[in-house]
Structure 1
């Protein structure tokens, strides 16, 4: 009986330890707003926990992983220009030995699209890296699906 109790305790602590290790300091939300019959704007919002930040799309090589949006090609729409972002905080980070641009608390990226069909769903993924003053988490990819009505 003691061996079973010990084994169950070890399994429970291992599972709890694994869950305690997983940090998700960024959550994403998406919405599309039609601006005309043939155009829409996609809003891709990152909400970032306190003391964490994600990086701009405009990071030079040799630094952290920049935020990158990849849209799945479709006959239903075409991208108009590049994904735009608000003005980022620029600061020297000794980890990367360079000035980097990043966002804290929240950021909304925008992508204009030309619609070839009145209603569609735009799919893709965002890759980003999140850091705080003590650590950086490995880059993460999150898939999205945005209905345009």
Structure 2
């Protein structure tokens, strides 16, 4: 009887451990003034070993690309497109296409123009984290970057 109870308890513990949601991507944010009216935003993803996220320029028909959206504000305007370093390129048979991704960490940058002396840049980043064997469902993280 005690053995059955221990086995049942162990099964519940294993199920609970498997049910925990993995969060292999940690985001951080910063801003740097490059002129009195222009600011460079830094949006960094620290990526757990074995995981990767996809380029903002990933073509349709494959994995979900990383996407940044900024909430409208009269305090600032976005200048141009988000910039990223050169991604890893690999042909994926599952998608029958080349995919572009980042491992370990990636620093995205976005230039903005301030309409006032200070602002709070709010928005969200959506992304999909994968390993060579699995992908998590697309995730979305909100951010808020104060600029003084």
TM-score with structure 1 setting the length? 0.88
Number of residue-to-residue matches in the alignment: 142
Query: What is the CA-CA distance between 1:108 and the residue it aligns to?
Result: 0.3
Structure 1 vs Structure 2 CA RMSD: 2.0
Structure-2 residue corresponding to 1:69: 68
Query: What is the CA-CA distance between 1:127 and the residue it aligns to?
Result: 0.4
Cα distance in 1 between the residues matched to 2:34 and 2:52: 31
Residues 120-135 of structure 1: pairs in structure 2 closer than 5 A: 120-135=119-134
Q: Which runs of 4+ in 1 moved over 6 A?
A: none
Secondary structure of the 1:103 match is: strand
- The answer to whether residue 28 in structure 2 is matched with residue 29 in structure 1 is yes
Secondary structure of the 2:49 match is: coil
Cα distance in 2 between the residues matched to 1:134 and 1:15: 21
| Structure 2: runs of 5 or more not aligned | none
Query: What is the CA-CA distance between 1:84 and the residue it aligns to?
Result: 0.6
Cα distance in 1 between the residues matched to 2:59 and 2:38: 32
Structure-2 residue corresponding to 1:136: 135
Query: For 1:49-70, what per-residue CA distance to the aligned partner results, in whole angstroms no more than 9, with x for missing partners?
Result: 1111000011111100000000
Secondary structure of the 1:126 match is: strand
Structure-1 residue corresponding to 2:58: 59
Query: What is the CA-CA distance between 1:117 and the residue it aligns to?
Result: 1.1
